[in-house]
Amino acid sequence: MYSSSYEDIPYSIITDIVLDEKEDLYATGKIAIKHNEETGLFLMKLRPVCDYEVLFTSIQECYLVFPHLAVDSEGNSYIASYTWDYENPVTADAFQKEKQPPNHAQSGYLMKLNAAGDEILYATYLGGSNRDWIYDIAVDKNQCVYVTGKTHSWDFPVTSNAYDTEQNLQGEAFFTVINTSSDGNAQVEVSSYFGGSGYDTGSAIQVDTEGRIYIGGTTNSHDLPTTPSAYQKVFCKNSEDQYSNDGFFCVFDSTGNTLLYSTYLGGEYSDTLHNMQLFSNNEVYLQGSTRSSDFLHPEKESSEVSNMYVLILKPFEEPVAE
């Protein structure tokens, strides 16, 4: 067991943690020297087995609402979230160097830091002319960054080779892949909408060793694209409730252009998908909440409160519920 505290930043919040291949622990979050007065974000690296701090760095004047974190095999750190701020740092090769107006709208934002945590290797905004949120980030062995979230922007930057280039009016999930392997020459590989005619939110993203892209989230679209082998091909049964929603889970090929697998996850009432973890045998652990009695355990009555679930899924095999 290991624990630590940092009294020098008493009002700060850790928002994400990652354990790398060497069992070093990385954490990121928001810095607030005084209550409700944010000054930036921080990155921390700890080596619990030796009980000492490897690095601590703060990035002043960089404002992110709920930073998410990924770490590559070389120890570079990737932080992504959303922001209202126009003055976050960007690099010369940024995909989008300026936050789009209007002032009150959120924009996605992501950055890459070197292994020492003292240099920003890549930083960019990611959004359109309305509200955009990044909710999760992943990185592969080639230092390609994968982000997902939700956009209300009709002009969210999608690529010509995208799976879906048209946004609906309710807000749609998206995923974007940026290759940051070459310093000073980052390239957007693919950026696409994903969803139906309702609202759709991407909340979790992973990538496997073959480059396939796994995305999970929540939808109330009755026409979300599903594949023939889907675990659940139709939206929740209680279609009279306009506020009902289901989780969704999908897999794209390495180009991001071909949908290999897509399914709803839910029952007669509201269900959501929050988190996802991919393992080496391509088992996917999905975690969310449900109020539906007929989702995983038909013998149980529907609840007025949400219950947590874990679903172990192999996209092309029968799922196992817990």
- What is the tens place of the pLDDT at every residue in 277-289? 998 777 899 999 9
Q: What is the mean pLDDT of residues 57-67?
A: 84
pLDDT at 318 exceeding the cut of 60: no
Band of residue 322 on the pLDDT scale cut at 50, 70, 90: very low
Q: pLDDT-derived band of residue 132, with 50, 70 and 90 as boundaries?
A: very high
Identify the band that residue 293 occupies on the pLDDT scale cut at 50, 70 and 90: confident
71-82: average pLDDT: 95
134 pLDDT higher than 70: yes
The average pLDDT across 88-101 equals 91
pLDDT at 319 over 60: no
CA dist 21 → 31, 41, 73, 110, 307 (Å): 27, 24, 7, 23, 32
Say what the pLDDT of residue 44 is. Answer: 87
Q: What pLDDT does 128 receive?
A: 92
Using one digit for the tens of pLDDT, what is the confidence trace for 215-237? 999 999 999 999 999 989 988 76
- At 53 the pLDDT is 64
Residue 320 has pLDDT above 50, yes or no: no
Q: Is the pLDDT of residue 42 over 80?
A: yes
Confidence at 269, pLDDT banded by 50, 70, 90: confident
Place of tokens 């690099």: 91
Those residues whose C-beta lies under 8 Å from the C-beta of residue 146, and which sit 6 or more positions away, are: 137, 138, 139, 140, 175, 176, 177, 205, 206, 207, 213
Which tokens go with 265?
Answer: 């996850």
Give the C-alpha separation, 105 to 83, whole Å.
8
Residue 316: pLDDT above 80?
A: no
What percentage of the chain reaches a pLDDT higher than 90?
53
pLDDT confidence of residue 79: 97
Higher pLDDT, 135 or 54: 135
Residue 3: pLDDT band by 50, 70, 90 thresholds?
low
d(CA 67, CA 123): 14
Q: pLDDT tens digit string along 152-185?
A: 999 999 999 899 998 887 899 999 999 998 777 8
Confidence (pLDDT) at 16? 93
Q: What is the mean pLDDT of residues 257-266?
A: 94
Angstrom CA distances, 172 to 6, 207, 213, 224, 256, stand at 39, 21, 18, 11, 16
DSSP state of 100: P
| 190-210 mean pLDDT | 95
Average pLDDT rounded to a whole number, residues 104-118: 92
Work out the mean pLDDT of the chain and round it to a whole number: 86
CA distance 290 to 189: 35
